[in-house]
Structure 1
Amino acid sequence: MSGEPSSATADPPARAAPDGETASAAETPHYSFEDLSVVMGTYNEEAAIDTVLSDIETVTGGQAEVVCVDGSSDQTPAIARDHGARVIEQSPQGYGVAVREAILAADRPVIVTTDCDDTYPMEQLPEFLDAINDGADVVSGDRLSQSPDAMPALNRLGNRLFAVLASALVGRRVHDTTTGMRAYRREVIESIEWTENTGLSAELLLRPLIRGYSVREQPIEYRERAGETKLAPIRGGAAIAKSILTVSLREQLR
């Protein structure tokens, strides 16, 4: 069961735009699943990708565009194509490189990122779209408020520490900086230059937040992953912490 969204920024009377500009509610379009792109980087996830894509099809009635940037050596891309996904082949270069290409390749006005390991609840896509239609520019899935026990203890501790660090740097309460499930208005994605690799998930939250976009955190039911994780906890954690520091400081100095 999903929870109530929280705002990482104080909700303004009109939808926030970059660097403090606003757009009136009357100018805000109302989006449906036909306006949705669901994007992901995929790498050897044949055990989970069928379930993820089937869930997306079921929830959206097959109306959403699906984009997979894939570096797999298994059957992942073939399974994705069987589901009608647009598969962009890319040599393995890391999480951020794949996801950045995926978000920039999306054709539709609302872009949702997710992972292909069946940890994120595609059944909550309607809630994310509702929040965008309600005026949010970014809707960020919060895994830690509702179902943190599905996450390994070391990962859970690291993610809580990342949230504390990010909150201190931006001066606002952030609950989950590294979630892979978020929704964005297309103009947010196109207005920012994305630079991080392992730390892209944190960057995708922090840059819009610091620039004054309306960011909401939506509690989600996180699940135990199918298949093995590709991220080395210590090395990956250090890279994410570095990205949080670097992105926050650069944004505040621009």
Structure 2
Amino acid sequence: MDKLAILIPCYNEGRTIRKVVSDCFAATKNILNTQIYVYDNNSNDDTVSEASTAGAIIRHEYQQGKGNVIRRMFREVEAECYIMIDGDDTYPAESIPDMMNVVLTKHVDMVVGDRLSSSYFQENKRLFHNFGNIIVRKGINTFFKNDIKDVMTGFRAFSYQFVKTYPVLSHGFEIETEMSILAIENNMLISNQIIEYRDRPAGSDSKLNTFSDGFKVLKKIFSLFRNYHPLRFYGVISVILLILGAALFFPKVWIPFIQTGLVRNFPTLIVCGFLVILGMLSYTAGLILDSNVQREHREFEFRLVLVQEQFDRLKNINS
């Protein structure tokens, strides 16, 4: 098991990957048992040769998408602490030792490299990226009751326990959103660390599509909120249906009935009945799914215990 594993997912980062790997080596020269892994995701430039020349361990993920690369990395690498950093030379490798120390000394499960509190808005020239980062951060912190400063950052540190219990479900760039929400919902310890961000150098192009990938991220937030808080989600739907049923029933059916003793709008009465039934079913579904979520939380805690035992065995073997 490595003391520190630096994981770099890459797709066509030939212009910058050698510098990123070299900077990581320089930043961790005093940390024994450090390995730098570059996971290539079907690059068609010289990413692999540049990373190999710089001294990184090269591995491959042939299923396209950043989420698929991270799944592969987390399955294959064993380490006390993991650093994930992009290969585009936008993050400061010199922050790696500090982020590692937070994980190892304070038992933090995820350290978030916070760009938004420093130089991101000055360095990043893509206006909609800036706006999207703000929307995603506010959305997650509002719906999931947390204070993560930078949800979309690709510079993070992880504990062994996080990496080995994290079920990677996303395929693309929504992966950072997913891992943030999973950490929040499973009561894992999260820390924010301010880092200096620099924009991509000339000739290096972002793989992130502002609108299509932004829509996927918002869709992921909506989906995870429904999955982790089904009682709140379906409860809101239930209340809306019941209010709508009442709004139709009282003026169209009840008041005329009181006045005349006759039901003059049978179709409206039937619609109101269906709305009430759907509202009750929605709330019942929320109750059942909420029970399943609570069971999942309990099972997650048992998995953490097993992973901790595995971690302790590996450390004993190393020592």
Identity, in percent, stands at 25
Q: In structure 1, which of residues 194, 200, 205 is the aligned counterpart of residue 180 of structure 2?
A: 205
- 1:123 aligns to what SS in structure 2? helix
Asked whether 1:67 is paired with 2:34, we answer: no
Q: In structure 1, which of residues 125, 140, 145 is the aligned counterpart of residue 117 of structure 2?
A: 145
Determine if contact 1:39/1:103 at 8 Å carries over to the other structure.
Answer: no
Matched to 1:165, the amino acid is: G
Asked whether 1:159 is paired with 2:133, we answer: yes
Unaligned runs of 5+ in 2: 230-289, 294-319
The 1-side partners of 2:225 and 2:85 are apart by 23
Q: In structure 1, which of residues 34, 40, 48 is the aligned counterpart of residue 8 of structure 2?
A: 40
Q: In structure 1, which of residues 208, 220, 231 is the aligned counterpart of residue 195 of structure 2?
A: 220
The 2-side partners of 1:104 and 1:197 are apart by 15
Matched to 2:112, the amino acid is: S
What are the equivalent positions in structure 2 for 1:181-192 lying under 5 Å apart?
181-192=155-166
CA offsets, 1:183-222, max 9 Å, x none?
A: 1111111112110122101112110121001101111101
Aligned residue in 2 for 1:78:
49
The 2-side partners of 1:127 and 1:225 are apart by 23
> Alpha-carbon deviation of 1:92?
5.4
Determine if contact 2:8/2:38 at 8 Å carries over to the other structure.
Answer: yes
**Root-mean-square deviation over aligned CA pairs:** 1.6
The 2-side partners of 1:107 and 1:135 are apart by 17
Aligned residue in 1 for 2:152:
178
- 1:74 aligns to what SS in structure 2? coil
> Alpha-carbon deviation of 1:73?
1.1
CA offsets, 1:78-115, max 9 Å, x none?
A: 12122332222233511211122123222212111110
CA offsets, 1:145-168, max 9 Å, x none?
A: 011221222111100100011011
Determine if contact 2:85/2:91 at 8 Å carries over to the other structure.
Answer: yes
The 2-side partners of 1:84 and 1:155 are apart by 33
Structure possessing the higher relative contact order (Cα contacts under 8 Å, 6 or more residues apart): 1
Structure with higher Rg: it is 2
TM-score by structure 2 length?
0.66
TM-score by structure 1 length?
0.82
**Richer in helix (by share):** 2
The 2-side partners of 1:200 and 1:229 are apart by 16
Q: In structure 2, which of residues 24, 30, 40 is the aligned counterpart of residue 56 of structure 1?
A: 24
Give aligned pairs, total. Answer: 221
> Alpha-carbon deviation of 1:128?
0.3
> Alpha-carbon deviation of 1:118?
0.3
> Alpha-carbon deviation of 1:250?
2.0
